[in-house]
Structure 1
Amino acid sequence: MWFTRSTLNRLFLLALPMVVSQGALALMAFADRFFLSRISPVHVAASLGGGVSFWVCLCFFNGIAAYGNAMVAQYFGRKDMRSCPRVVTQGIILSVIAMPMLLLMAWPMLSLFEWMGHAPEQVALEKPYFMTFIMGSFFFLVKTVLASYFSGIARPRVVMIADLIGVFLNIPLSYLLIFGRFGLPELGIVGAALGTVVACLLSIGIYLLFYFNPIHARRFHVRKSFVYMPGIMRRYLRLGLPSGFEVLIGLGTFNVFLLLFQSYGVAEGAAMAMVFNWDMLSFVPLMGLNIALMSMVGRTVGAGDMSKTNEVIASGFVIAVTYSGLMGLMFVIWRESLLGVFATPGSDFAPILAVGAPMMVGLATYAVADGLILVCSGVLRGAGDTRWLLITSVTVHVLTMIVQVFVITVWKLEPLVSWWVFVSMLIINALLYLWRVLGSRWRHPDRLARVMAE
C-alpha cells in the first residue's frame, strides 16, 4: 500500500469539492436541528425519528440512483461520451417509477412511531415531518441522479456549487418557516422539512443550467440522450439494485435500532439525536471521499487500466484516517461542550448529558471505522463489486439488529450497552470491508469485463 504525491493530490482535488458539498448538506441538517432545539428537546428527537424514517423509505431508490456515478465514470473512462447523459435519462425514468412505490411505503411507516412506543407528543411531530419529505421524494432522487452524473464526468465543482447554493437558501428559509418571520407562517417542524425540499428544487435548477450549457451539451450529445436505452437500463439495475438493497438494509436496521433506542425515553432520544448531529459532521464529509473514489476507480475500470488503483486506495486511506482520527479526538476532548450546543434554554440538560457524554466517546471510537468503510465501499462500488457488499452488509446489520432487539426489549439492558453493541458492529464491518479490498478477487480482469457488459 504505497502512493505518490501526484495521486494523493489528484484524489484530494477531486474529493475536496465533494467533501464541501456533503459537509454543506450535513450543515443544513445540523442547522435545522439547532433551530428546533430552540423550541424543545421533543422537536429534536422527532426530527431524527421522522428524518431517518424518510431516508429508510428513500434509500433503496436513492442507492440505485447514486450508482449512476460509477456507471457514468465507467463510460467516461472508456471515452463513450454519448452514453454518459443516457445514464441520466434512465435514472430519471427510475425516479418516476419510484414515486408511487414511495407513497405506498409511507402509510405503514406512519404507524411505526407509535408501535415503537414513542411519546404521543413526539409522534404528533414525527408524522407531518416525515410526510413533508415523502411528498418531495421525486426531487431528491432527481438531484441524486444529476449529482452522480457530474461526479462521474469529474466535474465535482458543479456538485459543490449546486449544494452550497441550496444550503445558503435552506438555512435562512428554514429559520423563517420554523419561527414564522417576515410574514411567513409559523410551521415549526414542518417548516424545517419544507425548507429542505425547496432548497432541493433550487439545486436541481443549478444542475440543469450546467447540464444544458451549449459547450457541455455538444460534447456529450445531451439533446440526443432523451431515449430509453435497454442495455444501459439493464446495467443500471444489475449493478445498482444490490447497492440499493445494501443501503436499504443498512439504513433500515439502523432506523429500527434508532426507534427502539428512543423507547428508553425522551432524554435518551434527544441525546442520540445530538450525538448523531456531530456524527454527521464527521461521516457526511467523508461521503465526498467515497464518491470521489467511486468515480476514480470507475474510470480505471472503463479504461481497462487498473495499474493506478492501489495508489488511489492508499491515498484514500491516508485522507480518511487522518480526518476521522482528528474528529475522534475532538469528540472525546470537548464532548460535553459539543452536546451543550443543543441545550434548550431554561430546561434541565443534565439527564441528556449523562447519556450523551459516554455516547460521544463511542462516536470517537467508531469514527475511524466509518472512514475505512467509506473508502472500501467507494472502491468496491466503482469496480462493480456490489453483490459482495450487499451480502456482507446485510449479514452484519441483520445479526446486529437481532442482538439489539434482545438487548433493548427482552433483556432490557441499559442504553449504553445498546450503544456499544452498535459501535462494535461498525468496527466489525470495517474489518470485513478492509479484508475484501486488500484481496484480489474483485479486480480480476474477467470479473471487470462482466461489469462493463450491457
Structure 2
Amino acid sequence: MELTTSYRSIWKVSIPIIVGSAAQNVVAMTDSVFLYYRSEDDFAAIGFVAAFYIIVAAVGFGFSRGGQIMIARYVGMNKPAEVGRSFYSTVYFELALAVAVFLFMTYGAYWLFASLVDSDVIFYKSLEYLETRKWGVFASYLGVACIALYTGIARPVFIVVDTVILAITNIFLDEALIFGRYGFPEMGIAGAGLASTIAEYVALAVFVAYMIGDRKNRIYLRGKLPRYDPALIREIVGLSVPIVTMSVVGLGSYFFFTGLVENFGPRALAVNNIIRIAYLILSIPAWGFCTGVNTLASYFVGRDERRKVKVVLWRTVALCLGVTLLMGLPIILFPRQVLYPLLGDERVYLIQAAYPVFWVLLGILVTFSFASIFFNGLIGAGQTKKALIYQTTCAVVYMALIFVVVRSGWGNLTVAWSMEIVYWVLMFGLSFRYFRRPRWRAA
C-alpha cells in the first residue's frame, strides 16, 4: 500500500470510512425515526437512551482506534506479521471489554439513569430499550476490531457493503418488531433495541465470512490464532485509553447535555431529538474523514515523513467542509421540506420548534469540520495524551456553560446548542497550535 498527500489518496481512504463509520449513527437514527411514528414518549426516551448507548459503542470503537493506529504504523513500516498480531490483540481485548460493559449495563444502568432522569416514563422506557439492546455489545465490539484492520491497511471498501447490510436489516426489523408486522410481536421501544442487536450480529457474520474468503489479507492473517500477547495489548491499550477517555468525555458531555435538557420539559427533549437526528446525518462525513486522518497521519509518522501530516490535515479540512456544507445547507435552510419525507407530518410541530436551532447547527458544522480533523490528526500522530488534555479542557468548559444556560432563567434550547460552537472553536485553537511546531511544517 502506497499513500500520498493528494486529494485522491485522501478520498480513497476516507470515502468508504465515511459510510462505514456511520454504523452506530444509522442504527440510532433508524430507531429514532420509527419510534417518532409510535409516540412522543417513545421518541423522547430513545433520544436519551440512544445517547447513552452511543457512548457504549464509542468505548469499543475508541479501543479499536488504538489497534487501527498500530496497524497503519506497521503497514507504513512494511511489517505484515505485526499487522496481524495487532489485529488479533485488538480482538482479544475487545471481547474482554464487551463482557465488562455488558455487566455494567445489566447491573449499573438502573442507578445511572435514576440519577439523571426525573420522568418515570422516560426512565422505564429507557431501561426497556436497554434490556434488549445490551446484547449487541459483543457484535459491536468485535465488528469494530474488523473495521480497524481494514481501515488500518487502507482497504475499507467492504465496510460500505457491511454498513448497508446493517442498515437494511435494522430498518426491516425495526418496522417488524416495533409495530408487530410480518408476523412478529409488537414490542415497542424494546423491539427497537432487539432489532438493532440482531442487525449487528448479521453484519458481523457477513464481515467475518468476507474476511475468511479475502485472499489479500492472508499476508497479515496467517495460520492459527496467535497467543494472547500481554505486551502488545498493553501497547494498544496505552494508545487507546486516552482515545476512549476522549470519546467518553466528549459524548458524555452530550449525554450530560441531554439529561439537563429534560429540565426544559419532555417536549424539549423530543425537539432536541429532532435536532440530534439532523446532527447525526450531517456529522457522518466529518467522522469518516477523521478516521481517515488517523490512518494517514499514522502512516506518514511510521514512514518518518511528519512534514506531510500537516498537508494532509489542511486538504482533508477542505474536503470535509465542502462535503458537510453540500449535505447540510439544504437541511438547515429547508428543514421541513428535507425532513418531511423522513419524519412525515405525525408531529410536524416538533420540526417547527427546532427551526431556530438549525441555524446554530450551521455554525457547529463549520467549526466541527476544522477542529475534528486537526484533533484527529493529533491522535493519528500518536499524541493521544496531549489530545486527552485538550478534550477534557474543552469538555469541562462546555459542560460548565451548558449548566449555566439550562439553570438560568434566560436559557433555552437554542442558546444551549450554541455552546457547542464554543467547544469546537476552543478545540481547533488548541490542536492548531500544536501543529505550528517546526517539525510539522511542510517543506
TM-score between both structures, scaled by the size of structure 1: 0.89
Please say if residues 210 and 216 of structure 1, whose CA atoms lie closer than 8 Å, have aligned partners that are also in contact: no
Q: Which residue in 2 is equivalent to 1:80?
A: 79
Structure 1, 58-67 or 187-196: larger mean CA deviation: 58-67
Distance in 1 of aligned mates of 2:331 and 2:217? 46
Q: Map of 1:390-429 to 2, 5 A cutoff?
A: 390-409=388-407, 413-429=411-427
Distance in 2 of aligned mates of 1:150 and 1:10? 16
Deviations 1:155-204 (A, max 9, x none): 11121122122222221122111111111111111222222211211222
Q: 1:431 aligns with which of 416, 429, 432?
A: 429
Relative to 1, partners in 2 of residues 1:109 and 1:344: Cα closer, same or farther, differing over 3 Å?
A: farther
Deviation at 1:104, TM superposition (A): 4.3
Q: Which residue in 2 is equivalent to 1:296?
A: 296
Q: Map of 1:113-128 to 2, 5 A cutoff?
A: 113-128=113-128
Residue 357 (1) aligns with residue 355 (2): yes
Please say if residues 25 and 163 of structure 1, whose CA atoms lie closer than 8 Å, have aligned partners that are also in contact: no
In structure 1, what residue type is equivalent to 2:50? G
Q: In structure 1, the residue corresponding to 2:186 is in which secondary structure?
A: coil
TM-score between both structures, scaled by the size of structure 2: 0.91
Structure 1, 243-252 or 220-229: larger mean CA deviation: 220-229
Distance in 2 of aligned mates of 1:206 and 1:111? 36
Q: Which residue in 2 is equivalent to 1:227?
A: 227
In structure 1, what residue type is equivalent to 2:175? Y
Q: Which residue in 2 is equivalent to 1:181?
A: 181
Deviations 1:382-437 (A, max 9, x none): 21011111001111101221232233236573333322223322332233223333
Structure 1, 55-64 or 126-135: larger mean CA deviation: 55-64
Relative to 1, partners in 2 of residues 1:170 and 1:36: Cα closer, same or farther, differing over 3 Å?
A: same
Please say if residues 85 and 225 of structure 1, whose CA atoms lie closer than 8 Å, have aligned partners that are also in contact: no
Q: Which residue in 2 is equivalent to 1:49?
A: 48
Distance in 1 of aligned mates of 2:346 and 2:394? 42
Deviation at 1:75, TM superposition (A): 0.8
Please say if residues 37 and 342 of structure 1, whose CA atoms lie closer than 8 Å, have aligned partners that are also in contact: no
Please say if residues 367 and 421 of structure 2, whose CA atoms lie closer than 8 Å, have aligned partners that are also in contact: no
Q: Which residue in 1 is equivalent to 2:33?
A: 34
Deviation at 1:244, TM superposition (A): 0.9
Distance in 1 of aligned mates of 2:77 and 2:160? 25
Distance in 2 of aligned mates of 1:161 and 1:353? 32
Relative to 1, partners in 2 of residues 1:440 and 1:239: Cα closer, same or farther, differing over 3 Å?
A: farther
Please say if residues 336 and 352 of structure 2, whose CA atoms lie closer than 8 Å, have aligned partners that are also in contact: no
Stretches of structure 2 that go unaligned for 5 or more consecutive residues are: none
In structure 1, what residue type is equivalent to 2:303? A
Residue 373 (1) aligns with residue 375 (2): no
Q: Which residue in 1 is equivalent to 2:286?
A: 286
In structure 1, what residue type is equivalent to 2:414? L
Q: Map of 1:60-99 to 2, 5 A cutoff?
A: 60-99=59-98
Please say if residues 45 and 122 of structure 1, whose CA atoms lie closer than 8 Å, have aligned partners that are also in contact: yes
Structure 1, 145-154 or 208-217: larger mean CA deviation: 208-217
Distance in 2 of aligned mates of 1:335 and 1:249? 30
Q: In structure 1, the residue corresponding to 2:7 is in which secondary structure?
A: helix
Q: Which residue in 2 is equivalent to 1:190?
A: 190
Deviation at 1:343, TM superposition (A): 5.5
Tell me the C-alpha RMSD between the 2 structures. 2.6
Q: In structure 1, the residue corresponding to 2:38 is in which secondary structure?
A: coil
In structure 1, what residue type is equivalent to 2:7? L
Q: In structure 2, the residue corresponding to 1:393 is in which secondary structure?
A: helix
Q: Which residue in 2 is equivalent to 1:389?
A: 387
Distance in 2 of aligned mates of 1:272 and 1:208? 37
In structure 2, what residue type is equivalent to 1:369? T
Distance in 2 of aligned mates of 1:85 and 1:435? 35
Q: Which residue in 1 is equivalent to 2:164?
A: 164
Please say if residues 117 and 123 of structure 2, whose CA atoms lie closer than 8 Å, have aligned partners that are also in contact: no
Deviations 1:245-283 (A, max 9, x none): 111111112101111112311221111111111111111
In structure 1, what residue type is equivalent to 2:395? H
In structure 1, what residue type is equivalent to 2:48? G
Aligned residues: 439
Please say if residues 68 and 236 of structure 1, whose CA atoms lie closer than 8 Å, have aligned partners that are also in contact: yes
Please say if residues 177 and 187 of structure 1, whose CA atoms lie closer than 8 Å, have aligned partners that are also in contact: yes
Relative to 1, partners in 2 of residues 1:165 and 1:342: Cα closer, same or farther, differing over 3 Å?
A: closer
Distance in 2 of aligned mates of 1:344 and 1:118? 29
Distance in 1 of aligned mates of 2:440 and 2:257? 32
Please say if residues 177 and 195 of structure 2, whose CA atoms lie closer than 8 Å, have aligned partners that are also in contact: yes
Please say if residues 64 and 240 of structure 1, whose CA atoms lie closer than 8 Å, have aligned partners that are also in contact: yes
Distance in 1 of aligned mates of 2:329 and 2:346? 30
Stretches of structure 1 that go unaligned for 5 or more consecutive residues are: 445-454
Deviation at 1:344, TM superposition (A): 7.0
Deviation at 1:117, TM superposition (A): 4.0
Deviation at 1:324, TM superposition (A): 2.3
Please say if residues 274 and 339 of structure 1, whose CA atoms lie closer than 8 Å, have aligned partners that are also in contact: no
Deviation at 1:24, TM superposition (A): 5.9
Structure 1, 366-375 or 329-338: larger mean CA deviation: 329-338
Deviation at 1:240, TM superposition (A): 0.9
